[in-house]
Amino acid sequence: MRGFFDPRQRAHAPAQELHNGGFVAYAETPARADAILAALGPLETPADRGEAPILAVHDAAYVDFLKTGPARWKAAGRPGDLVGYIWPIVGRRPLALDRIDALAGRFSLDAATPLTADTWTSAYWSAQSVLAALDAVLGGDRAAFALCRPPGHHAGRDYLGGYCHLNTAAIAAQAAIFGGMAPVAILDVDYHHGNGTQDIFWNRGDVFFASLHADPATDYPFYWGHADETGEGAGDGTTLNLPLPQGTTRDAFRAALATALDRIARFAPDLLIVSYGADTWAGDPISRFGIETADYRLLAADIAACGWPTLIAMEGGYACDALGANVAGFLSGF
Ligand code: OKP
Ligand code: ZN
């Protein structure tokens, strides 16, 4: 299977994140990419397909904020990385404010995703990697892998959060549709709900979004991923959320996966995009499922057995010592 990664995806490295009321080392590190590369061997460097596929999903004002925000933050005399600390909560009148502090809240979901001067570059090449993998599948490959780092599934049309800035799965889905592969299904098997992907395609009838994740009653992102969220308008019924309790192990996960695959089969997609997170692994430092390394091959084989052309986009997974083996195990199932 072909895989894609650009070395510029390493540059984004915030110093710390707000976690449980204190500051801790940022969990979404460049070392994650190195661990995956060590297990898979060198991956191909993507070509530059430009900003158009990104702007087909994300608002121009948000993209401008990602590009220019860190310099404006620095120019305002702020010593640390750019991070929001005030948010326009639901019900406030919308104000088009230009202060960088206001923009940081306007364009973010949480205070755990700082921006550095390098964030845009890394997020841009993460998106280029997913687009290169998509082209491999559009060209006839059975499956392709994009080492997306930073990840994408928490980012919405105009907001960052959960270590994510550009929604790589959504960018690939939209590009696939423009490329004539439709409808598209996105299967999100990261430990956390893919709120950004769900949000982007919430009222779309041409993209099915299915997600297995820790119950948002106990886990981030809390406000999304509940079982009663099923889409609206043209997208009514094209969102499927299967929240699972902390402690979930292989067999229960596999049963939920079968439910998701069955629903996707009824949607008859031209293309499957898998948002793959290895943070479902039993030893993950920020997650609470009990999937073992050997389980990933089996789970992936269940997906592969459906026969859809498949693009696998990397999302989370924070146990660097096991990350390479977990990703390699998952890809081996294809
Ligand atoms: C990103 B991905 C809770 C901190 C939560 C955000 C988790 C983002 C996960 N104290 N931090 O889905 O793997
Ligand atoms: Zn996750």
> Nearest ligand to the C-alpha of residue 22?
1
State residue 227's pLDDT score: 98
Q: Count Cβ neighbours within 10 Å for each residue of 78-103 and write b for 16 or more, e otherwise.
A: eeebbbbeeeeeeeeeeeeeeebbbb
User: Among the atoms of ligand 1, which is closest to the Cα of residue 110?
Assistant: 6
State residue 270's pLDDT score: 98
Which residue's CA lies nearest to atom 7 of ligand 1?
162
Whether 41 is covered by a domain: the verdict is yes
State residue 279's pLDDT score: 98
Whether 103 is covered by a domain: the verdict is no
Whether 56 is covered by a domain: the verdict is no
225 ligand 1 Cβ < 6 A: no
State residue 119's pLDDT score: 98
220 ligand 1 Cβ < 6 A: yes
State residue 88's pLDDT score: 87
Range of the domain at 306: 2-13+25-49+116-332
Output the six-digit token pair for 34. 């190195």
Among 286, 315, 323, residue to substitute to test ligand 1 (most atoms within 8 Å of Cβ): 286
315 ligand 1 Cβ < 6 A: yes
Cα separation, 22 vs 195, in Å, equals: 24
Cα 193 from chain centroid? 9
20 ligand 1 Cβ < 6 A: yes
201-211 per-position pLDDT tens digit: 999 999 999 99
State residue 91's pLDDT score: 82
Tell me if residue 213 is catalytic.
no
3-state secondary structure of 71: helix
The average pLDDT across 80-108 equals 93
**Domain harbouring 276, CATH code:** 3.40.800.20
State residue 167's pLDDT score: 99
14-54 per-position pLDDT tens digit: 999 999 999 999 999 999 999 999 999 999 999 999 999 99
Nearest-Å Rg of the Cα atoms of the chain is 18
323 ligand 1 Cβ < 6 A: no
Cα separation, 280 vs 298, in Å, equals: 14
The average pLDDT across 258-267 equals 98
Distances (CA, A) of 201 to 124, 157, 173, 182, 197: 21, 10, 10, 14, 6
- The mean predicted confidence, pLDDT, of the chain is 98
The average pLDDT across 134-152 equals 98
Residue type, 325: A
Whether 148 is covered by a domain: the verdict is yes
ipTM tops the 0.90 cut: yes
State residue 26's pLDDT score: 97
The average pLDDT across 54-73 equals 98
Examine the pLDDT at 90 and tell me if it is beyond 90. no
pTM of the model: 0.98
Whether 100 is covered by a domain: the verdict is no
Among 126, 220, 281, residue to substitute to test ligand 1 (most atoms within 8 Å of Cβ): 220
Percentage of residues in the chain having pLDDT higher than 70: 100
Residue of 28, 27, 30, 47 lying closest to 38 (CA atoms): 30
209-242 per-position pLDDT tens digit: 999 999 999 999 999 999 999 999 999 999 999 9
Whether 87 is covered by a domain: the verdict is no
Which residue's CA lies nearest to atom 4 of ligand 1?
19
Whether 174 is covered by a domain: the verdict is yes
174-185 per-position pLDDT tens digit: 999 999 999 999
120 ligand 1 Cβ < 6 A: no
Distances (CA, A) of 192 to 72, 211, 214, 260, 293: 31, 9, 6, 16, 18
State residue 89's pLDDT score: 87
162 ligand 1 Cβ < 6 A: yes
Catalytic residue among 154, 192, 193, 213: 154
H/E stretch holding 198: helix 195-200
Q: Which residues have CB under 8 Å from 111's CB, separation 6+?
A: 18, 83, 84, 85
Among 16, 18, 36, 154, residue to substitute to test ligand 1 (most atoms within 8 Å of Cβ): 154
Whether 73 is covered by a domain: the verdict is no
* CB contact at 8 A, 200 and 169: no
Q: Which residues have CB under 8 Å from 261's CB, separation 6+?
A: 187, 302, 303, 306
Total of domains in the chain: 1
